[in-house]
Protein backbone atom coordinates (compact mmCIF):
# COMPACT_ATOMS: atom_id res chain seq x y z
CA UNK A 1 0.00 0.00 0.00
CA UNK A 2 2.78 2.43 0.94
CA UNK A 3 4.68 1.52 -2.22
CA UNK A 4 1.60 2.18 -4.35
CA UNK A 5 1.01 5.55 -2.67
CA UNK A 6 4.65 6.52 -3.18
CA UNK A 7 4.40 5.60 -6.84
CA UNK A 8 1.27 7.73 -7.29
CA UNK A 9 2.90 10.72 -5.55
CA UNK A 10 6.03 10.39 -7.70
CA UNK A 11 3.92 10.34 -10.85
CA UNK A 12 2.00 13.44 -9.72
CA UNK A 13 5.30 15.22 -9.11
CA UNK A 14 6.83 14.15 -12.44
CA UNK A 15 7.66 17.22 -14.59
CA UNK A 16 6.84 15.17 -17.69
CA UNK A 17 3.19 15.21 -16.58
CA UNK A 18 3.31 19.02 -16.58
CA UNK A 19 5.00 19.02 -20.00
CA UNK A 20 2.32 16.74 -21.42
CA UNK A 21 -0.41 19.05 -20.16
CA UNK A 22 1.40 22.00 -21.74
CA UNK A 23 1.71 20.20 -25.08
CA UNK A 24 -1.97 19.26 -24.89
CA UNK A 25 -2.74 22.98 -24.47
CA UNK A 26 -0.49 23.94 -27.39
CA UNK A 27 2.65 25.10 -25.56
CA UNK A 28 6.03 23.86 -26.78
CA UNK A 29 9.65 24.93 -27.06
CA UNK A 30 10.67 27.52 -29.68
CA UNK A 31 11.26 26.55 -33.32
CA UNK A 32 14.94 27.53 -33.24
CA UNK A 33 17.84 27.65 -30.83
CA UNK A 34 20.20 30.55 -31.37
CA UNK A 35 22.11 31.48 -28.26
CA UNK A 36 23.34 29.64 -25.20
CA UNK A 37 23.79 31.40 -21.91
CA UNK A 38 24.94 30.19 -18.56
CA UNK A 39 22.26 30.61 -15.95
CA UNK A 40 22.90 31.17 -12.26
CA UNK A 41 22.95 28.02 -10.12
CA UNK A 42 19.26 27.44 -9.39
CA UNK A 43 19.05 26.19 -5.83
CA UNK A 44 15.26 26.26 -5.94
CA UNK A 45 14.34 26.78 -9.56
CA UNK A 46 14.70 23.25 -10.85
CA UNK A 47 17.47 21.77 -12.99
CA UNK A 48 20.98 20.93 -11.86
CA UNK A 49 23.13 23.58 -10.15
CA UNK A 50 26.05 24.89 -12.15
CA UNK A 51 24.94 23.49 -15.52
CA UNK A 52 24.28 25.94 -18.36
CA UNK A 53 20.85 26.10 -19.88
CA UNK A 54 20.24 26.75 -23.52
CA UNK A 55 18.54 30.09 -23.96
CA UNK A 56 16.35 29.86 -27.01
CA UNK A 57 15.05 33.02 -28.60
CA UNK A 58 13.60 33.88 -31.97
CA UNK A 59 13.97 37.56 -32.82
CA UNK A 60 12.84 39.46 -35.88
CA UNK A 61 11.27 42.79 -36.81
CA UNK A 62 7.94 41.77 -35.26
CA UNK A 63 9.50 41.83 -31.80
CA UNK A 64 9.34 38.31 -30.44
CA UNK A 65 12.13 39.05 -27.98
CA UNK A 66 9.86 41.58 -26.34
CA UNK A 67 7.03 39.12 -25.87
CA UNK A 68 5.01 39.82 -29.02
CA UNK A 69 3.57 36.85 -30.93
CA UNK A 70 5.36 35.83 -34.13
CA UNK A 71 4.30 33.69 -37.01
CA UNK A 72 6.19 30.42 -36.64
CA UNK A 73 4.17 27.92 -38.60
CA UNK A 74 0.48 28.12 -39.27
CA UNK A 75 -1.22 29.71 -36.25
CA UNK A 76 1.73 29.15 -33.92
CA UNK A 77 3.30 32.17 -32.22
CA UNK A 78 6.54 32.63 -30.30
CA UNK A 79 6.27 34.61 -27.09
CA UNK A 80 8.47 35.47 -24.12
CA UNK A 81 7.56 34.32 -20.60
CA UNK A 82 5.26 36.50 -18.53
CA UNK A 83 6.87 39.22 -16.41
CA UNK A 84 10.60 38.93 -15.87
CA UNK A 85 11.80 38.80 -12.29
CA UNK A 86 12.72 42.40 -11.45
CA UNK A 87 15.20 41.36 -8.74
CA UNK A 88 17.01 38.47 -10.44
CA UNK A 89 16.67 39.85 -13.98
CA UNK A 90 15.49 36.43 -15.20
CA UNK A 91 13.57 36.78 -18.47
CA UNK A 92 13.20 33.11 -19.30
CA UNK A 93 13.23 31.36 -22.68
CA UNK A 94 10.98 31.93 -25.66
CA UNK A 95 8.33 29.32 -26.41
CA UNK A 96 5.63 28.55 -28.98
CA UNK A 97 1.89 28.95 -28.45
CA UNK A 98 -0.45 27.07 -30.77
CA UNK A 99 -3.67 27.96 -28.95
CA UNK A 100 -3.78 31.71 -28.16
CA UNK A 101 -7.22 31.38 -26.53
CA UNK A 102 -5.90 29.02 -23.84
CA UNK A 103 -2.79 31.15 -23.44
CA UNK A 104 -4.81 34.27 -22.63
CA UNK A 105 -7.33 32.32 -20.53
CA UNK A 106 -4.62 30.83 -18.31
CA UNK A 107 -2.80 34.17 -18.19
CA UNK A 108 -5.98 35.66 -16.71
CA UNK A 109 -6.20 32.69 -14.37
CA UNK A 110 -2.69 33.11 -13.00
CA UNK A 111 -3.26 36.86 -12.54
CA UNK A 112 -6.16 36.02 -10.19
CA UNK A 113 -3.49 35.01 -7.68
CA UNK A 114 -1.16 37.98 -8.16
CA UNK A 115 -0.73 41.31 -6.43
CA UNK A 116 -2.58 43.49 -8.95
CA UNK A 117 -5.77 41.47 -8.58
CA UNK A 118 -5.81 41.52 -4.78
CA UNK A 119 -4.85 45.19 -4.57
CA UNK A 120 -7.98 45.85 -6.63
CA UNK A 121 -10.40 43.13 -5.46
CA UNK A 122 -10.26 43.59 -1.68
CA UNK A 123 -10.63 47.41 -1.76
CA UNK A 124 -13.49 47.12 -4.26
CA UNK A 125 -15.29 44.77 -1.89
CA UNK A 126 -14.85 47.28 0.94
CA UNK A 127 -15.72 50.43 -0.98
CA UNK A 128 -18.70 49.08 -2.93
CA UNK A 129 -20.01 45.76 -1.60
CA UNK A 130 -19.67 44.63 2.02
CA UNK A 131 -16.87 45.75 4.39
CA UNK A 132 -17.66 42.96 6.88
CA UNK A 133 -17.10 40.26 4.27
CA UNK A 134 -14.00 42.02 2.96
CA UNK A 135 -12.36 42.22 6.39
CA UNK A 136 -12.96 38.56 7.22
CA UNK A 137 -11.92 37.47 3.74
CA UNK A 138 -8.61 39.27 4.15
CA UNK A 139 -7.96 37.44 7.43
CA UNK A 140 -8.40 34.14 5.58
CA UNK A 141 -6.16 35.29 2.72
CA UNK A 142 -3.35 36.45 5.04
CA UNK A 143 -3.22 33.22 7.03
CA UNK A 144 -3.51 30.98 3.97
CA UNK A 145 -0.71 32.80 2.15
CA UNK A 146 1.49 33.03 5.23
CA UNK A 147 1.22 29.34 6.09
CA UNK A 148 1.66 28.40 2.44
CA UNK A 149 4.86 30.44 2.09
CA UNK A 150 6.20 29.00 5.35
CA UNK A 151 5.47 25.48 4.11
CA UNK A 152 7.50 26.20 0.98
CA UNK A 153 10.45 27.29 3.12
CA UNK A 154 10.23 24.12 5.21
CA UNK A 155 9.69 21.57 2.41
CA UNK A 156 12.02 23.25 -0.14
CA UNK A 157 11.01 21.30 -3.22
CA UNK A 158 12.26 22.78 -6.51
CA UNK A 159 10.07 23.95 -9.36
CA UNK A 160 9.41 21.46 -12.18
CA UNK A 161 12.62 21.11 -14.17
CA UNK A 162 13.01 22.73 -17.58
CA UNK A 163 13.29 20.87 -19.90
CA UNK A 164 10.92 19.09 -20.29
CA UNK A 165 8.69 21.81 -18.77
CA UNK A 166 8.32 25.11 -20.64
CA UNK A 167 8.50 28.12 -18.32
CA UNK A 168 5.61 30.26 -19.50
CA UNK A 169 6.09 32.43 -16.40
CA UNK A 170 9.39 33.14 -14.64
CA UNK A 171 8.53 35.75 -12.01
CA UNK A 172 8.29 33.21 -9.18
CA UNK A 173 10.85 30.79 -10.58
CA UNK A 174 13.32 31.39 -7.73
CA UNK A 175 10.73 30.32 -5.14
CA UNK A 176 10.27 26.82 -3.86
CA UNK A 177 7.37 24.90 -5.29
CA UNK A 178 5.46 22.87 -2.67
CA UNK A 179 2.67 23.77 -2.05
CA UNK A 180 1.23 26.05 -4.72
CA UNK A 181 0.19 29.25 -2.93
CA UNK A 182 -1.73 30.30 -6.05
CA UNK A 183 -3.80 27.14 -5.67
CA UNK A 184 -4.19 27.85 -1.95
CA UNK A 185 -5.47 31.40 -2.42
CA UNK A 186 -7.67 30.33 -5.35
CA UNK A 187 -9.25 27.71 -3.09
CA UNK A 188 -9.58 29.74 0.11
CA UNK A 189 -10.72 33.11 -1.25
CA UNK A 190 -13.69 32.05 -3.43
CA UNK A 191 -14.85 29.37 -0.99
CA UNK A 192 -14.57 31.76 1.97
CA UNK A 193 -16.38 34.39 -0.07
CA UNK A 194 -19.16 31.89 -0.71
CA UNK A 195 -19.37 30.89 2.97
CA UNK A 196 -19.40 34.51 4.16
CA UNK A 197 -21.99 35.80 1.69
CA UNK A 198 -24.54 33.05 1.22
CA UNK A 199 -26.30 33.96 4.50
CA UNK A 200 -25.79 37.73 4.12
CA UNK A 201 -26.89 38.27 0.51
CA UNK A 202 -29.74 36.93 -1.55
CA UNK A 203 -28.38 35.21 -4.65
CA UNK A 204 -28.66 31.73 -6.19
CA UNK A 205 -26.42 29.47 -4.14
CA UNK A 206 -25.71 27.27 -7.17
CA UNK A 207 -24.42 30.33 -9.02
CA UNK A 208 -22.06 31.08 -6.16
CA UNK A 209 -20.77 27.50 -6.11
CA UNK A 210 -20.23 27.56 -9.87
CA UNK A 211 -18.25 30.81 -9.72
CA UNK A 212 -16.14 29.62 -6.77
CA UNK A 213 -15.29 26.28 -8.40
CA UNK A 214 -14.56 27.90 -11.78
CA UNK A 215 -12.24 30.41 -10.10
CA UNK A 216 -10.43 27.64 -8.24
CA UNK A 217 -10.06 25.29 -11.22
CA UNK A 218 -8.91 28.05 -13.58
CA UNK A 219 -6.13 29.23 -11.27
CA UNK A 220 -4.99 25.70 -10.39
CA UNK A 221 -4.77 24.64 -14.03
CA UNK A 222 -3.04 27.90 -14.94
CA UNK A 223 -0.13 27.12 -12.60
CA UNK A 224 0.46 23.81 -14.37
CA UNK A 225 0.10 25.51 -17.76
CA UNK A 226 2.65 28.15 -16.73
CA UNK A 227 5.13 25.41 -15.80
CA UNK A 228 5.42 26.75 -12.26
CA UNK A 229 4.02 23.75 -10.37
CA UNK A 230 3.68 20.01 -10.57
CA UNK A 231 0.25 18.41 -10.29
CA UNK A 232 1.16 17.31 -6.76
CA UNK A 233 2.00 20.91 -5.77
CA UNK A 234 -1.44 22.06 -6.88
CA UNK A 235 -3.32 19.19 -5.20
CA UNK A 236 -1.39 19.74 -1.95
CA UNK A 237 -2.12 23.47 -2.08
CA UNK A 238 -5.82 22.79 -2.59
CA UNK A 239 -6.03 20.34 0.33
CA UNK A 240 -3.87 22.46 2.65
CA UNK A 241 -6.06 25.47 1.95
CA UNK A 242 -9.20 23.48 2.74
CA UNK A 243 -7.68 22.43 6.07
CA UNK A 244 -6.80 26.04 6.98
CA UNK A 245 -10.28 27.17 5.97
CA UNK A 246 -11.92 24.53 8.19
CA UNK A 247 -9.79 25.63 11.17
CA UNK A 248 -10.12 29.40 10.72
CA UNK A 249 -13.72 29.76 9.53
CA UNK A 250 -15.27 29.39 13.03
CA UNK A 251 -12.90 32.06 14.42
CA UNK A 252 -13.39 34.76 11.77
CA UNK A 253 -16.11 36.64 13.65
CA UNK A 254 -14.06 36.53 16.86
CA UNK A 255 -10.90 37.81 15.11
CA UNK A 256 -12.87 40.56 13.39
CA UNK A 257 -14.47 41.66 16.66
CA UNK A 258 -11.06 41.78 18.36
CA UNK A 259 -9.53 43.84 15.53
CA UNK A 260 -12.37 46.35 15.63
CA UNK A 261 -13.12 46.82 19.30
CA UNK A 262 -10.20 45.79 21.49
CA UNK A 263 -8.46 48.91 22.81
CA UNK A 264 -4.91 47.73 22.19
CA UNK A 265 -5.67 45.83 19.00
CA UNK A 266 -3.40 48.00 16.77
CA UNK A 267 -0.36 47.28 18.97
CA UNK A 268 -1.10 43.56 19.06
CA UNK A 269 -1.76 43.42 15.32
CA UNK A 270 1.42 45.24 14.28
CA UNK A 271 3.60 43.29 16.72
CA UNK A 272 2.12 39.91 15.75
CA UNK A 273 2.46 40.41 12.01
CA UNK A 274 5.98 41.84 12.27
CA UNK A 275 7.05 39.01 14.58
CA UNK A 276 5.69 36.36 12.24
CA UNK A 277 7.74 37.82 9.42
CA UNK A 278 10.96 37.98 11.45
CA UNK A 279 10.74 34.45 12.84
CA UNK A 280 9.57 32.71 9.67
CA UNK A 281 12.53 32.92 7.33
CA UNK A 282 15.95 31.33 7.54
CA UNK A 283 16.41 30.81 3.80
CA UNK A 284 19.92 29.92 2.67
CA UNK A 285 19.42 31.83 -0.58
CA UNK A 286 17.22 34.72 -1.66
CA UNK A 287 13.81 34.00 -3.14
CA UNK A 288 10.65 35.97 -3.80
CA UNK A 289 8.93 33.98 -1.03
CA UNK A 290 10.50 35.99 1.78
CA UNK A 291 9.50 39.38 0.43
CA UNK A 292 6.04 38.23 -0.60
CA UNK A 293 5.34 36.99 2.91
CA UNK A 294 6.49 40.26 4.48
CA UNK A 295 4.28 42.02 1.95
CA UNK A 296 1.24 39.90 2.85
CA UNK A 297 1.78 40.36 6.58
CA UNK A 298 2.26 44.11 6.17
CA UNK A 299 -0.90 44.40 4.09
CA UNK A 300 -2.92 42.42 6.63
CA UNK A 301 -1.62 44.51 9.53
CA UNK A 302 -2.31 47.81 7.76
CA UNK A 303 -5.84 46.75 6.87
CA UNK A 304 -6.58 45.52 10.40
CA UNK A 305 -5.35 48.79 11.97
CA UNK A 306 -7.35 50.80 9.41
CA UNK A 307 -10.45 48.73 10.19
CA UNK A 308 -9.97 49.46 13.90
CA UNK A 309 -9.89 53.21 13.22
CA UNK A 310 -12.88 52.95 10.88
CA UNK A 311 -14.87 51.27 13.63
CA UNK A 312 -13.82 53.77 16.30
CA UNK A 313 -14.66 56.76 14.05
CA UNK A 314 -17.70 55.11 12.43
CA UNK A 315 -16.16 55.91 9.05
CA UNK A 316 -17.47 52.82 7.23
CA UNK A 317 -20.49 51.67 9.23
CA UNK A 318 -21.30 48.00 8.88
CA UNK A 319 -24.70 47.22 7.37
CA UNK A 320 -27.23 46.48 10.12
CA UNK A 321 -27.54 42.78 10.94
CA UNK A 322 -31.29 43.19 11.33
CA UNK A 323 -31.58 43.68 7.57
CA UNK A 324 -30.07 40.27 6.78
CA UNK A 325 -30.15 38.85 4.21
CA UNK A 326 -29.53 41.82 1.95
CA UNK A 327 -31.23 41.80 -1.44
CA UNK A 328 -29.02 42.11 -4.49
CA UNK A 329 -28.97 45.79 -5.55
CA UNK A 330 -30.79 46.82 -8.69
CA UNK A 331 -28.25 47.77 -11.32
CA UNK A 332 -28.57 51.28 -12.70
CA UNK A 333 -26.30 53.69 -14.52
CA UNK A 334 -25.97 55.85 -11.43
CA UNK A 335 -25.00 52.89 -9.20
CA UNK A 336 -22.49 51.50 -11.69
CA UNK A 337 -21.05 54.96 -12.27
CA UNK A 338 -20.67 55.59 -8.53
CA UNK A 339 -18.95 52.21 -8.01
CA UNK A 340 -16.59 52.80 -10.92
CA UNK A 341 -15.79 56.31 -9.72
CA UNK A 342 -14.95 55.04 -6.23
CA UNK A 343 -12.90 52.20 -7.66
CA UNK A 344 -10.85 54.28 -10.11
CA UNK A 345 -10.21 57.10 -7.64
CA UNK A 346 -9.42 54.70 -4.82
CA UNK A 347 -7.02 52.57 -6.87
CA UNK A 348 -5.21 55.67 -8.11
CA UNK A 349 -4.69 56.76 -4.52
CA UNK A 350 -3.49 53.29 -3.50
CA UNK A 351 -1.08 52.97 -6.43
CA UNK A 352 0.27 56.46 -5.83
CA UNK A 353 0.78 55.61 -2.16
CA UNK A 354 2.67 52.45 -3.10
CA UNK A 355 4.91 54.28 -5.59
CA UNK A 356 5.78 57.06 -3.14
CA UNK A 357 6.45 54.66 -0.28
CA UNK A 358 8.67 52.44 -2.43
CA UNK A 359 10.73 55.44 -3.51
CA UNK A 360 11.15 56.64 0.09
CA UNK A 361 11.48 53.40 2.02
CA UNK A 362 14.31 51.58 0.22
CA UNK A 363 16.96 54.30 0.65
CA UNK A 364 15.74 55.03 4.17
CA UNK A 365 16.01 51.40 5.28
CA UNK A 366 19.38 51.01 3.51
CA UNK A 367 20.68 54.05 5.37
CA UNK A 368 19.36 52.74 8.67
CA UNK A 369 20.97 49.29 8.34
CA UNK A 370 24.14 50.56 6.67
CA UNK A 371 23.77 48.93 3.24
CA UNK A 372 24.55 50.93 0.05
CA UNK A 373 21.38 51.82 -1.84
CA UNK A 374 23.02 52.59 -5.19
CA UNK A 375 21.95 49.25 -6.69
CA UNK A 376 18.36 48.91 -5.47
CA UNK A 377 18.03 45.39 -6.89
CA UNK A 378 20.93 44.03 -4.84
CA UNK A 379 20.02 46.06 -1.77
CA UNK A 380 16.50 44.63 -1.71
CA UNK A 381 17.86 41.08 -1.62
CA UNK A 382 19.32 41.66 1.85
CA UNK A 383 16.88 40.36 4.46
CA UNK A 384 17.44 43.35 6.76
CA UNK A 385 16.36 45.62 3.87
CA UNK A 386 13.69 43.53 2.20
CA UNK A 387 11.62 42.60 5.24
CA UNK A 388 11.15 46.11 6.70
CA UNK A 389 10.87 47.63 3.22
CA UNK A 390 8.07 45.29 2.13
CA UNK A 391 6.34 45.38 5.49
CA UNK A 392 6.33 49.20 5.74
CA UNK A 393 5.33 49.82 2.13
CA UNK A 394 2.42 47.39 2.14
CA UNK A 395 1.33 48.27 5.66
CA UNK A 396 0.88 51.78 4.29
CA UNK A 397 -0.88 50.47 1.17
CA UNK A 398 -3.36 48.47 3.28
CA UNK A 399 -3.92 51.36 5.65
CA UNK A 400 -4.42 53.75 2.73
CA UNK A 401 -6.95 51.49 1.00
CA UNK A 402 -9.06 50.88 4.11
CA UNK A 403 -8.80 54.20 5.95
CA UNK A 404 -7.44 57.09 3.87
CA UNK A 405 -9.49 56.30 0.76
CA UNK A 406 -12.81 55.90 2.67
CA UNK A 407 -12.03 59.13 4.52
CA UNK A 408 -11.45 60.81 1.15
CA UNK A 409 -14.82 59.49 -0.06
CA UNK A 410 -16.51 61.01 2.99
CA UNK A 411 -14.80 64.37 2.37
CA UNK A 412 -15.85 64.57 -1.29
CA UNK A 413 -19.33 63.09 -0.84
CA UNK A 414 -18.78 59.63 -2.38
CA UNK A 415 -19.45 57.61 0.78
Model pLDDT for residues 98-131, shown as the tens digit of each residue: 888 888 898 888 888 887 888 888 888 888 888 8
pLDDT in tens, 159-168: 888 778 888 8
Residue 43 vs residue 226, higher pLDDT: 226
pLDDT band of residue 3 (cuts 50, 70, 90) is confident
Q: Is 229 a catalytic residue?
A: yes
pLDDT for 13 equals 78
Percentage of the residues of the chain whose pLDDT score is greater than 90: 15
- Range picked from 93-97, 112-116, 205-209, 227-231 for highest mean pLDDT: 205-209
CB 196 within 8 A of CB 133: yes
Residue 369 vs residue 52, higher pLDDT: 369
What pTM does this model have?
A: 0.78
Residue 322 vs residue 407, higher pLDDT: 407
CA distances, 16 to each of 66, 165, 173, 174 (Å)? 28, 7, 18, 20
CB 237 within 8 A of CB 183: yes
> Residue 393's closest CA among 303, 304, 298?
298
pLDDT for 83 equals 52
pLDDT for 44 equals 39
pLDDT band of residue 376 (cuts 50, 70, 90) is low
The conformational region for residue 142 under phi > 0 = left, psi -120 to 50 = alpha, else beta, is: alpha
pLDDT for 51 equals 40
pLDDT for 380 equals 65
**How far does CA 302 lie from the centroid of its chain?**
17
Q: What is the DSSP string of 352-387?
A: HHHHHHHHHHHHHHHHHHT---SSHHHHTTSHHHHH
Hey, how many other C-beta atoms are within 10 angstroms of the C-beta on 207? 9
Mean pLDDT for the chain? 77
pLDDT band of residue 93 (cuts 50, 70, 90) is low
Q: Show me where the domains of the chain are located.
A: 25-35+56-98, 110-412
Q: Is 382 a catalytic residue?
A: no
Indicate which residue of 229, 253, 273, 308 is catalytic: 229
pLDDT band of residue 396 (cuts 50, 70, 90) is very high
Q: Is the pLDDT of residue 57 over 60?
A: no
pLDDT band of residue 80 (cuts 50, 70, 90) is low
pLDDT for 137 equals 92
pLDDT for 370 equals 75
- Summarize the confidence of residues 297-322 as an average pLDDT: 84
Residue 353 vs residue 95, higher pLDDT: 353
pLDDT band of residue 32 (cuts 50, 70, 90) is very low
Amino acid sequence: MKGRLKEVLCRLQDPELVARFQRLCGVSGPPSESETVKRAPPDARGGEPGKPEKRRRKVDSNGAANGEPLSCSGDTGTVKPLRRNSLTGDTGLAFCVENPLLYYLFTIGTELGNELFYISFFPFMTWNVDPVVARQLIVVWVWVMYLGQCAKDVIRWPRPSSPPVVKVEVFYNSEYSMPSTHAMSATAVPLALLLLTHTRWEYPFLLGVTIALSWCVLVCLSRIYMGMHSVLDVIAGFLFSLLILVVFSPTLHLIDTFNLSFRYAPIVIVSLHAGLGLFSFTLDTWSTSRGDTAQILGTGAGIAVASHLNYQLDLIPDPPASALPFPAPTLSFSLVGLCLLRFVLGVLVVLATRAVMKALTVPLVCWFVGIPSGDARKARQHMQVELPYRYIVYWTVGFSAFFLVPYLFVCIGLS
